[in-house]
Amino acid sequence: MEWRHRHLFDLDDWTREDIERVLALTSEIEGILNDGGKALPSLKGKTLVNFFLESSTRTRVSFEIAAKLLGMGVINWAAASSSMAVKGESLKDTLWTLESMGVDVVVVRSSWVGAPQYMARKLRRARVINAGDGTHAHPTQALLDIYTAWKRFGSLEGKRVLIAGDILQSRVARSDIIGFKKMGSEVIISGPGNMVPLNYKALGVRYEPDFAKAVRESDIIYLLRVQKERWQVNAIPSDYEYHLSFGCSEETLREARGCAVVMHPGPINRGVEIASEVADGDKSLILEQVRNGVLVRAALLYLYLGGDA
């Protein structure tokens, strides 16, 4: 069945069936890789450009590995040394140049909300995948989070997901809220009042200011970094004080449900939102999320570039 989306901006125009299709294909790819990887679907002859205007480790590298697993060519466009940065070339001309050289998919990260949509309007043939636009959306992170949780719990129907920390600045929180709710989960948020969006009720979530209580009541404890680089003011009194109220320590986690898991999109700040013992502990799925990022992104490339799944 043909994939009905041309570009990936966010999950708001996705159905639950769309998400389930990605989960099924990711699971299939994981099975093939566990068997030695010989029968992996192929996108040989296609080319991906990583177009990152903001820093990244996980997302950029995992797209590169995923594309190479499928036999694709990969270009890591370097923002700082590009003709856009140094010689005044416009974004539109840069995109047309890359497209003329045969690029099939542009994976874009930018601090500019709406950059993926703008780029999709300028491109004539190539697909656009949003790898994070400002504080707006990070749909591939949400899909790998959902895949990781789905593998652990089997079904996400009725599961309670706590997203805690700097919700206001978090594109991950916004995409995760949309995605987990589409899968039938309940989402609650926690964090300091200044880090909670004023319109949080419109997102269909409940706000629980008592972090320890929220941890006790949840199946998935999803922690977020304080994005100091996006705050114009000191958002928290100190890392230490933040940790006392909203950091997940071993002591806080001791009160959690037996089945509860800890997740984080990374990068983690040890001793702030998460204690080292929790990050490295047996409830942590953080490195599994990273591993699954490669698989989910491979599935997405296959679907968006016309693979038959």
Residues 6+ apart with CB under 8 A from 166: 191, 195, 224, 225, 226, 227, 235
- Residue with Cβ nearer ligand CP (56 or 97): 56
Residue 57 found at the interface with ligand CP (CB under 6 A)? yes
Which amino acid, one-letter code, is at 152?
R
The distance from CA 85 to its chain's CA centroid, rounded to whole angstroms, is 27
Residue 100 found at the interface with ligand CP (CB under 6 A)? no
Least CB distance from residue 76 to ligand CP, whole Å? Answer: 13
- Between helix 139-153 and helix 171-182 the angle, nearest 10°, is 50
Peptide bond into 267 cis (omega under 30): yes
Least CB distance from residue 58 to ligand CP, whole Å? Answer: 4
Residue 179 found at the interface with ligand CP (CB under 6 A)? no
- Residue with Cβ nearer ligand CP (31 or 267): 267
- Residue with Cβ nearer ligand CP (132 or 192): 132
* Distance in angstroms (rounded) separating the CA atoms of residues 161 and 149: 10
Least CB distance from residue 147 to ligand CP, whole Å? Answer: 14
Joined tokens for residue 133: 């636009």
- Residue with Cβ nearer ligand CP (209 or 266): 266
Least CB distance from residue 274 to ligand CP, whole Å? Answer: 14
The distance from CA 33 to its chain's CA centroid, rounded to whole angstroms, is 22
Residue 59 found at the interface with ligand CP (CB under 6 A)? yes
Residue 209 found at the interface with ligand CP (CB under 6 A)? no
Indicate the DSSP class of residue 53: S
Q: Which stretch binds ligand CP (CB under 6 A): 12-20, 55-63, 160-168, 226-234?
A: 55-63
Lookup result for tokens 């948020």: 189
CB distance 25 to 309 below 8 Å? yes
Number of residues that bind ligand CP (CB under 6 A): 9
Residues 6+ apart with CB under 8 A from 308: none
Mark residues 246-275: x for contact with ligand CP by CB under 6 A, - for none.
-------------------xxx--------
- Considering only residues 133 to 172 of the shown chain, the ones binding ligand CP according to CB under 6 A are 141
Query: Which residues of the chain form contacts with ligand CP (CB under 6 A)?
Result: 56-59, 132, 141, 265-267
